[in-house]
Each structure stands twice: as structure tokens, then as C-alpha cells.
Structure 1
Amino acid sequence: MGVDTFVGFGRGMSEQDKKERWLVAVTAGRWQMHGIRMAQRAGLRVFAVDGSDDAPGLAIADHAMVVDARSPQAVVEAVRGSGIEPSGAIAFVSEVGMLPASAVREQWRLPGHDSGVVRRLLDKQLQRELWDQAGVPSPQWRRAGSLAEVQTAVAELGLPVIIKPVDCAGSRGVTRVESKMEIADAVQKALSATRSGRLLVESFMEGVEYAVETFFHQGVAHVLAVTGKKKVPGSRGTVAMELATPDLPAAVVEKIGMTAVQALTALGYRDGPGHTEIILQSGDRPGLVETAGRGGGFMVFDAMAQMASGYDLPTACALQAVGLPPPSCVVDRQAVVLRFFPTVPGTVRRLDGFDEANRLPGVVTGSFMTVGSVVGVASCDGDRLGFILSRAATPAQAQTLADTAEAMIHIEIS
């Protein structure tokens, strides 16, 4: 969609509107909405762009346009054509929007990372190269672009391996391969997900996976949350069904968090949210899976990071993006559980009980789908029916709360 096919939302902008402090939000899907709302609550005006006129964030933004949000040029032209003078640009939880947001920042000389840093954040091969140079603990890996190259890489690394695109998020195109018979299908899956045609083959790291949520400001990193992952049975460890505060020694948790900080720092990252995945191997050795210079989706950025730390991450990111100081980061740790209901093949016949569960203190729940939705096997992070988010003083108490909430929720698929 070109810039000549804009669709405006809301009222037209007056001269006074144009003088306000505007934040450009690149993409406006479900997981961008909380960031948009918190920016507005902080006194900013939000100009949202997205490639779909159904994107819900467009309806709540102060001004919005439908434009190819993957195209840096199209987004820059959209902002220029709007008549506003942007104060900042951000892609709260969207990898697709990160490069166009950096183009807006470069065009108007706004705060935040330039396209050079952003390209490092989006290219998993380049990340691996930089991490190796910086000594960040990582698996062995090879780049590939064809079945033959993948087969050569597997022969060098040995099975099992992870095959993934260099340019996808949310577990799309990722497969754990355990036998030679599975290689061809894994390569096809990865190639169908990538826009670049480039793949990574990585040695498999045995251990428990952890997610780390961070916030950087002027090069200073704050670790907001470290959560252990449980995976969907049958997904071979590629799709998470729960993130929960681990019952680990403080020194081990700190080691996991610092590995995430090292990973982002090695890419030149200085400002903004971070979402990093790490495997804790035998001997408490961290191994880096991947990182992202954005918030985590599916309630991680919206609520989990704040519930775990007491820090308002979305507001901090919005203020930082327009050059205003974010709130001082004083972390008040709480135990959390973020549990998902993965899809199974069939049609959703019943999906209720969330309202009742939301009455529990320390619990937030919600559905991602509706009755009548046709769903399949959970193969990526998008294959989720709903969530439970609980908070308590200890990991055990948070788990008990999540269990209580789950017993109140009814899901039927046939």
C-alpha cells in the first residue's frame, strides 16, 4: 500500500494539534495498543501507522494512517504528509516497525537508535557474529541459504540442531531437528517464513530457557524480570506455554540477567526495552538464544514486566522516545506467572470464565480468540487462546494463584 492510499482516522489536525509533542507509533496491532494508551496518558499525542485498516491501535490514536508499515520510505512520507512535526518514533512490541521507526528518527534527527543499530537487532546472523566477537556465550552456528548448505552445517555441528530464519520473531519458522529425515521439512518451514532467504543452523543447547525483560536508558541497563519458560508439549521446545519467576539462587538469576545485558550492549543498544531468551545449561552456564530491542508480546510488555518489577515500562519507553526523562527505575521484585492456553486442532466451542478469574486479587486473565475460531496445532507464539497472569510474594504463591484462576476458566475445542 503506497502513501497515496492513506486512510485517515479521527478528526483532522488543527495548527494547534501540529504543535503538540507527537510520538509516531509504527504498527498499531493488538500488542501496540497498551503502549499507545500509556503514551497518551503521559500527555503525548500519538500518530499511528499500520498496513491494515483493521489494526485496533489506529482507532485509539490521536491521528492514524494506513500505510505499508514495513516500508521505511512509506512511513517517512506518511509522517511528512501528515503535517505534524514528530518528537519521537517507536515500535513498542513490533519488529516489523523497528526499521521504519528508525527512518523517521533519522529523517527528523530524533532521539533513539539509528538504522545501523536497528539492523543489528533484526539480523540474527549479524547478532551471532557480534556476540562471538564480544565473547557473549552462544551456541555454535552456521549460516545457510539452501537445503544443501543446511545439510553441510548439520554434518559439522551434529544433531540435534535448531534451524531458524535470520529475520523472524515469535518462533515463526523455527524447528528443533533431531534426525536427518527432518531436515528438509525444517528448511522448507524456515524458508517459507523468511523474507531474506537466509537461515541459521545452531547447535542445540540443553537446559531450561529463561526470558529476560530489560530497560536501557543512556547505556545504563535495568533488569526488570527473569522468568523460566515451560514449552508446549509436542513443539520440541519452540513454543512457550508459561513464563514464571524461577526459584533459583539470586546469583544465578543475576548471571542470566547480565547475559541479556551483555547481548544487547554488544549490538550497540543504549535506549529502550529488551526481550532476551537464554538457556541455562549444566553448571549454571548461560547460553544466548536470541534478543530483541523491543518489548515482548502477549502481555509481557503490557503487564508482566511491570507486575514483576513495579516499573511502568510502556510509559518509560514512550517518554524516552520523545526525549523526555523516563521515571527513575527502582525495581520492586514480585513473583509472577504468565500462563497461556495453547491451541489444539478444531473449532473453539467454549471460551469463558475469564471475568470470574479476574476477580481474584493479583490475577489478570483474558482471551485472544473467540467462540467459532478455527485453530490448529500450536506451532508459534500466535497459537494461543488466552492467558493468565498472576503476581504474589513468592513463586509458589504465584503458581497457586494461576492454578486457581485456571480452574475457573472453561475452554472446549472440537
Structure 2
Amino acid sequence: MSVIVLHQVGSVHAVPYDRWLADHEDDVLLLACPDNLARVGEEIPESGSGYAYTEAVAGYDASGALEERVVDLARERGVTHVLASHERDLERAAALREFLGLPGQQPDSVLPFRDKAVMKELAAAAGVRVAAHRQIETATDILSFAAEYGYPVVLKPRDSAGSVGLRILETPDELDAYLADDFDLYGAGQPNLIAEQYVPGALCHVDGLVRGGRTAMAWPSQYQYPLATFATDTGPRIDLTLDPEDPLTHRLLAFAERLLEVMPGPENFAFHAEVFHTPDDELVLCEIACRTGGAAIRDVVGLLFGADPTESWLRAELGLPVPVAEAQQDRLPEPRMMTGQLVLMKRPGRVVAVPEAAPDLPWIERFRVFVTPGQTMAAARTSSDFLCTVLVSGRSRSEVEQRLRQVEQWFLGGLVLETR
């Protein structure tokens, strides 16, 4: 019998499914997207290198090609589980489980996490505060929404991830230009859009793991930058965990717990909830996903609690032991340290020189560079088009921030770009 792992987005070597699941009795089969492998400059691992079978499925992104291969492999080898940890694979994996009669998250459970309109309706009905929003079917829907709630107007695909497709329209002129150039009512079906009232304030996030239907670990962080600016922002994108004594920490944990009670999640899953903290000290839901957060959030959670959230989630789905302490009397485990991440986005230019190794400092926990000398970069197209990522630890939020800014200055001092 076999376990099939789907992998559509990101580095396949950064998520060693074969090692994570090595103690499972079934073979591990890996199906990956060849276009993604080309984008990240990787080859699919060879069959027999820890995986019983691997395949870069031609047409992975197209409807039907991946599903056909999974069904064929189920007939040939027998399949007990279909696993997926990336946002764009969640619905397809759920549909395959339903079709094949396999355990795990089903379509009715994944939909509220993927469809932002359904998500916000569920949350609002349970008393969780959400921004005013409206599903968009026609251009007049956007115009009437702007007339009622004013500017800025936030537009996003109902099922997007990684800030892809997010637009913030600041003025009536920007809305007019959007409707003239980018809003195509008569394209491929009705627009897959939701409009939201702009919520001022800092964007926080709570990341953790649900195991056996209960929250096993969770901790909040706060972005120090606007997520939607990834294509134009070449400055430091810093994200910091909140100190245990910060009153906002416990309010965010309670907010996330209430939200998890509302959402029809499966027994085991990682989660990433984004929450606005407004200038008038209110918490407002942005959205929640039933997967690990992006950038270096997986590493952040791993440092906080000594357990990789994606590995723990997938192992829990298979009934394997998970290195996460059980919550004691409804008290979640405390983090072992404070930490934070720095992301620098790709920007146009030819790389002449770039630091390839981190300084020998004990508090630098992770350092990764995504370009090499001679490579020509374009502006970031998605929020995961990284130039480098850095993760550091410290005793407090302020110490972590100071260390991240120190590393940023060192890295930029060694980066040489040729631009025209």
C-alpha cells in the first residue's frame, strides 16, 4: 500500500516528505509539478532515494491530469492516504480523498478555508468581527461597494493565496482604471472576486497546529510591513513574534481559538490566521488558512516549539507519533525563545555578487539565499519570490528586531547588482 504526496509549489527539497514519513508502513509516492520545479531550479528526487516512486506530472496545473495519475496509482499500488501541504493542492487532495474513500480533510471542510466569502460569513455569524465585504459579480457591485464604504477598496480572488491578485484601490480614478483595464466581466465565467472594506492597523498572524481536534501549539507574530507590496517593496520585510507578557499576545491566541471553534476543520491540520489590530485596539479577521504559513513561518514555529508544524501535521494525519507536548489543562506550551524573520524580495538587476553564507553569530538560526552570481532577476511576481530569508532568535521582540536589522545591513553591504 502507498501514501501519495502532492507537491505543487515551492522547493521540494525543503519539505523532505520521505524522511518525515520514513517510519510509516506504506510506501511514499511523490507527485510534483514540473513547472514549479523549473521555477525553483530543482530536479525531482529519484525513485528509490527514499521515495518508492516519484513523478513530475505533465499538466499538473491543468484540471484532470493530476487526478488521473492519482487514480491510476491507486489502482496499481493501492493508496491509504493522499497528503497535501500547499494551499493550491488542498481542494484537489480533498476531492481525491472523497472519490477514493480515503480518510483526511474532505471538500466540505476545506472550502471555508479556501473561499474567503464563505469564511467571513461563517466567522461573522459566530460573532467574530470581520471587515465589511461583498461578493463581486458585476462592475456595479464594486462601484456600489465603494460608494457605501469609501476608499481604499480591497479586491482579492476568493480563493487566492500568497497575496496573488490582491489589489488595493485608493481613489475613484484607480477604480475607474481597474474597471477599464483589468475587470473582464465577459471573460472566463463570472469574476472570482470579493471586495472588502480597508482595515487600518497592524496585521498580525497566529500560527499553530490542531491535533486530534484540539489546538496543540500556537503563537502570534506581527508583520512590520504591508503584505501587498511584495512586487515593489525592496526594503526589509520583517516579521516578529510577540513577547509572552504582551497583552496582545493572549488576545490574539483567544481570537484564534474562537475562530478555530467556528471553522469546520479536520482532526489534524496546521493553521495560519491573519488578524488586523486596529488603531482603536480592536481585532478584525483578515483570513485563516488550513496550512502552514508562508515565507519562514514554518521555521519560526519550529524554533518556538521544537516541532516542525508541517511535519507534525502530516505525521498526525497518518497516525504517527508527533513531537508536540499535549496541552496541559487547556494551557498551550510556552515558546522556548522569541524569534523573527527578515525577507528581502527579488528586484530587477543582474547579480554580480551576493553573500552566500551567514556571519558566524549564534543567534542566526536560518539563512538562505535564492539567487547566484550571474543570475538576472526581475521584480517579484509573487510573495514567495525571495532574494534571501533570515531567521534569528533572541530574548525579546526588541532584541530580535535589532538583530534582524543588523543582518540586513550586512547582507546589503555584500550584494552587488548591475542595473540598466
Q: Distance in 1 between matches of 2:397 and 2:5?
A: 38
- Identity value in percent: 19
> 1:224 maps to what in 2?
218
Counterparts of 1:180-199 in structure 2, within 5 Å, are 180-186=172-178, 197-199=191-193
Alpha-carbon distance between aligned partners in 2 of 1:300 and 1:103, rounded to the nearest angstrom: 27
Cα gap change, 1:221/1:328 in structure 2, threshold over 3 Å: closer, same or farther?
Answer: same
Which residue number corresponds to residue 7 of structure 1? none
Structure 2 residue corresponding to 1:134, chosen from 123, 126, 136: 126
Matched residue, 1:22? 3
Task: Give how far 1:39 is off.
Answer: 2.2
1:68-90 superposed Cα distances (whole Å, 9 cap, x missing partner): 44567543432332322223222
Aligned alpha-carbon RMSD (Å): 3.2
Q: CA deviation at 1:185?
A: 4.4
**What is the match of residue 336 of structure 1?**
339
Q: Which runs of 4+ in 1 moved over 6 A?
A: 190-196, 236-240
- In the alignment, residue 218 of structure 1 is paired with which amino acid? G
Which of the numbers 232, 242, 245 marks the counterpart of 2:241? 245
Matched, 1:304 2:300: yes
Is 1:276 the counterpart of 2:273? The answer is: yes
Corresponding position: 1:63 with 2:53: yes
Q: Equivalent residue of 1:205, what SS?
A: coil
| Inter-partner Cα distance in structure 2 for 1:52 and 1:230 | 34
Note if 1:52 corresponds to 2:52. no
CA distance in 2, matches of 1:28, 1:236: 18
1:175 CA drift (Å): 1.9
Amino acid at match of 1:80: V
Q: Is the 8 A contact 1:307 1:336 kept in 2?
A: yes
**Distance (Å, rounded) in 1 between the aligned partners of 2:229 and 2:396:** 29
TM-aligned CA distance change 1:233 to 1:279, over 3 Å: closer
Query: Structure 1 residues 268, 190: CA separation in 2 closer, same or farther (over 3 Å shift)?
Result: farther
SS in 1 for 2:45: helix
Q: Deviations over 1:264-300 (max 9, x none)?
A: 4323013200111111113431111111111122222
Q: Deviations over 1:341-385 (max 9, x none)?
A: 1233x2132452241336644431111233344444456413421
Equivalent in 84, 88, 92 of residue 91 of structure 1: 84
Aligned position for 2:15: 34
Q: Kindly report which structure 2 residues correspond to 1:6-405, keeping only aligned pairs within 5 A, or say none.
A: 19=1, 22-27=3-8, 29-30=10-11, 33-43=14-24, 45-52=27-34, 55=37, 56=42, 58-59=44-45, 61-65=51-55, 66-70=57-61, 73-82=64-73, 83-92=76-85, 94-186=86-178, 197-231=191-225, 235=229, 241-247=237-243, 249-270=245-266, 271-301=268-298, 303-329=299-325, 331-333=333-335, 334-344=337-347, 346-357=348-359, 360-378=362-380, 380-405=382-407
CA contact (8 A) 2:162 2:383 kept: yes
Using the alignment, how far apart are the partners of 1:38 and 1:284 within structure 2?
44
In 1: Cα distance, 2:396 partner to 2:389 partner: 20
Number of matched pairs: 392
Cα gap change, 1:196 to 1:210, in 2 (>3 Å):
farther
Q: 1:234 to 1:172 in 2, by over 3 A?
A: closer
Deviation at 1:250, TM superposition (A): 3.9
Q: Alpha-carbon deviations, 1:37-63, whole Å to 9, x = none?
A: 552455564322233166247326442
Contact 1:163 1:199 in 2 (8 A): yes
Does the C-alpha gap of structure 1 residues 228 and 351 become closer, same or farther in structure 2, counting only changes over 3 Å? Answer: farther
1:255/1:371 CA distance change after superposition, 3 Å? same
- 1:112-143, Cα deviation, whole Å (9 max, x unpaired): 21011112221111112211212211111111
CA distance in 2, matches of 1:112, 1:32: 24
Change in Cα spacing, 1:195 to 1:172, as seen in structure 2 (3 Å) is farther
Q: What amino acid sits opposite 1:167 in the alignment? A: D
Distance 1:291 1:231 in 2: 19
CA distance in 2: counterparts of 1:139 and 1:215, whole angstroms: 26
Q: Is the 8 A contact 1:38 1:315 kept in 2?
A: no
Distance 1:157 1:228 in 2: 26
CA-CA distance at 1:217 after TM superposition: 1.5
In structure 2, how many angstroms separate the alpha carbons of the residues matched to 1:49 and 1:196?
Answer: 31
Shift of 1:144: 0.9
**What TM-score, normalized to structure 1?**
0.83
Q: Distance in 1 between matches of 2:352 and 2:319?
A: 46
Any idea what the Cα deviations from partners look like across 1:374-413, whole Å, max 9, x if unmatched?
A: 4444564134211111112222232233233333322233
Decide whether the 8 Å contact of 2:358 with 2:367 is kept in 1: no
Secondary structure of the equivalent of 2:389? strand
**Distance (whole Å) between structure 1 residues aligned to residue 409 and residue 204 of structure 2:** 26
CA separation of 1:49 and 1:128: change in aligned 2, threshold 3 A: same
Q: Distance in 2 between matches of 1:351 and 1:221?
A: 45
Q: Which segment is superposed worse, 394-403 or 57-66?
A: 57-66
Aligned residue type for 2:53: H
**Letter paired with 2:28:** V
Q: Rate the CA distance shift 1:41–1:348 in 2: closer, same or farther, 3 A.
A: farther
Which stretch has the larger CA shift, 251-260 or 131-140?
251-260
